[in-house]
Amino acid sequence: MPEFDYTDLLPMGPDETRYRLISAEGVRVVEAAGRRFLEVEPEALRLLTETAIHDISHYLRSSHLAQLRKIIEDPESSGNDRFVALDLLKNASISAGGVLPMCQDTGTAIVMGKRGRHVLTDGADAEHISRGVYDAYTKLNLRYSQMAPITMWEEKNTGSNLPAQIELYAEDPHGHPDEYKLLFMAKGGGSANKSFLYQETKAVLNEKRMLQFLEEKIRSLGTAACPPYHLAIVVGGTSAEFALKTAKYASARYLDAIPTEGSASGHGFRDTELEAKVFELTQKLGIGAQFGGKYFCHDVRVVRLPRHGASCPVAIAVSCSADRQALAKITPEGIFLEQLETDPARFLPETTDEHLSDDVVRIDLNRPMPEILAELTKYPVKTRLSLSGPLVVARDIAHAKIGELLDAGGEMPQYLKDHAVYYAGPAKTPEGYASGSFGPTTAGRMDSYVERFQAAGGSKIMLAKGNRSKQVTDACAAHGGFYLGSIGGPAARLAQDCIRKVEVLEYPELGMEAVWRIEVEDFPAFIVVDDKGEDFFSDSTGPVLSIGRR
């Protein structure tokens, strides 16, 4: 019989995080039964949460911004890689002003906390954290995305972005019984939708098969979640849900300090050698930072977990260009939050857009639709565009309503015949601004409507982020349509620099899901699918590893 040997599943190394003091109020040390206890007031949890949601909505980690700068400086980066990276740095600089959030999808609030055994609260920690989430989302220019189920089929937006996902554990963080440590995340729908679980077997546990498997699955991520990604892969797990949760934490680099070697005790570890091989794979895919190139990912984390002998879960998750998370702690000294970068402009290069990308074709959206289509047909996929003029904005619910109209024998709305359609939904508009953060949403959710809409004369030019299905390519070839890709991520920059006017056209009761008319100037886009049936992403679907061809 082996001797008893306890280990944490994910043993955490030293905390090297740089923190800033939020407040010394709301905490006090009390002595009882020969022990020292930390008493935490409800206001401390509320204030910390509100501040954390503000910071992760507007600031990024310096390490993430340095990776964007690296893309610009790498001579192997494509022109489109560099253009995307520069736009994301510009977006971060605007967002850091504290008015426009970095992404219009300001996410589901996720909070994970580890409370030491000598930390005293009133027991309603989740309620106080939720109040902080409520205060941040209702006071700031953020978007409400949480849908409350009224019945199985009916939903209503909660109007506050609650509920939040809150998980609290009784655990001495890093061996400190009088500390409360937390991780705050804002997870948008795009990146959350790129979390995957695959139930594999031991057959995948060799390098050749694993790399073949990962190449296929990584390709399937596409660009809808706004790369460059922080990619996390977890192999094994005591349960499927633990594998997925570990992948989420790894994508936030929360597990960077776990061991890099395994042992017979069964703890998880990082496989840094496989991380390097997978990262090299991602650079060879050709997808790049959304529109072709090298930087599909900033980095890769691979975590190996123990498993039941009859199962082998593999989980994949990403953190997108809105890389929103921050660590926090409450100690006897006060309330502390991870110091994020408040001056991202220092990472901007001394160059212009023209130095970083290919020639730009300017498209006047004020012209009649046939003239715009005749202009676009002159250029191949991958061509970079600059759009100026009116766009109609419509996304999921608006498409469903127009689909119902057509099914009932109605006419395609004239605005979808006359104008390009932008799949998006704005965050709140700050006072004095023409628009709130207003970046593109995932195009694929509207794929099923394209054939019907184009056949009825609408949606001839579509603008959004991410790849599309073959049915969209076929529809564009049949009806002379185009799908233009917008850069996923720089919602604040688009609002400040490109969107000049916003007004509701139809369905105002839908809030951000209404049909809008906006005026844009120098709005960046790329031809992804053209009227000849060419699809940019079709160039990035074949295997790149020689190991995958043997």
First to last CA, the chain: 44
| Neighbouring residues of 418: CB distance < 8 A, sequence distance ≥ 6 | 368, 369
pLDDT of 539 strictly over 90: no
Determine the residue type at 534.
E
pLDDT tens per residue, range 281-296 = 999 999 999 888 999 9
Place of tokens 């949460």: 49
Q: What is the dihedral of CA 330, 334, 337, 342, to 10 degrees?
A: 180
Whether the Cβ atoms of residue 182 and residue 112 lie closer than 8 Å to each other: yes
What is the phi-psi region of residue 37: left when phi exceeds 0, alpha when psi lies from -120 to 50, beta otherwise? beta
State which CATH number among 3.20.20.120, 3.40.50.300, 3.40.50.720, 3.20.130.10 fits the domain covering 361-539. Answer: 3.20.130.10
Residue 550: pLDDT band with limits 50, 70, 90: very low
Helical packing angle, 207-219 and 272-284, nearest 10°: 50
E strands in 1-145: 19-23, 27-32, 35-40, 108-115, 119-120
pLDDT tens per residue, range 391-440 = 999 999 999 999 999 999 999 999 999 999 999 888 888 988 989 988 88
Whether the Cβ atoms of residue 354 and residue 42 lie closer than 8 Å to each other: no
Q: Tell me, rounded to whole angstroms, the distance of Cα 495 from its chain centroid.
A: 18
Give me the pLDDT at residue 358, please: 55
139 vs 352, which has greater pLDDT?
139
pLDDT of 357 strictly over 70: no
Residue 513: pLDDT band with limits 50, 70, 90: confident
pLDDT tens per residue, range 119-146 = 999 999 999 999 999 999 999 999 999 9
Place of tokens 């601004």: 433
Structure tokens at 466: 């991410």
Single pTM value for the model: 0.82
| Domain ranges, ordered by start, for the chain | 11-186+322-353, 189-321, 361-539
Q: What number of other Cβ atoms are within 10 A of residue 350's Cβ?
A: 5
pLDDT tens per residue, range 466-500 = 888 899 999 999 999 999 988 877 888 888 889 99
Residue 444: name the closest of 416, 421, 465 by CA: 465
Structure tokens at 461: 């030019």
Spatial strand order in the sheet of 27-32: 27-32, 35-40, 119-120
Q: Cα(438)–Cα(523) distance, rounded to whole angstroms? A: 12
Structure tokens at 69: 């700068």
Q: Mean pLDDT in the chain?
A: 92
* Main-chain phi, psi angles of 238, to 5 degrees: -70, -15
Q: Return the minimum-mean-pLDDT range out of 94-98, 241-245, 311-315, 518-522.
A: 94-98
Question: What percentage of the chain carries pLDDT values higher than 70?
Answer: 96
Q: What number of other Cβ atoms are within 10 A of residue 451's Cβ?
A: 18
User: DSSP 3-state assignment of 384?
Assistant: strand
Mean pLDDT of 348-367: 72
Q: Cα(144)–Cα(158) distance, rounded to whole angstroms? A: 7
pLDDT of 547 strictly over 50: no
Q: Cα(288)–Cα(84) distance, rounded to whole angstroms? A: 10
User: DSSP 3-state assignment of 130?
Assistant: helix
Q: Cα(5)–Cα(517) distance, rounded to whole angstroms? A: 64
Give me the pLDDT at residue 382, please: 84
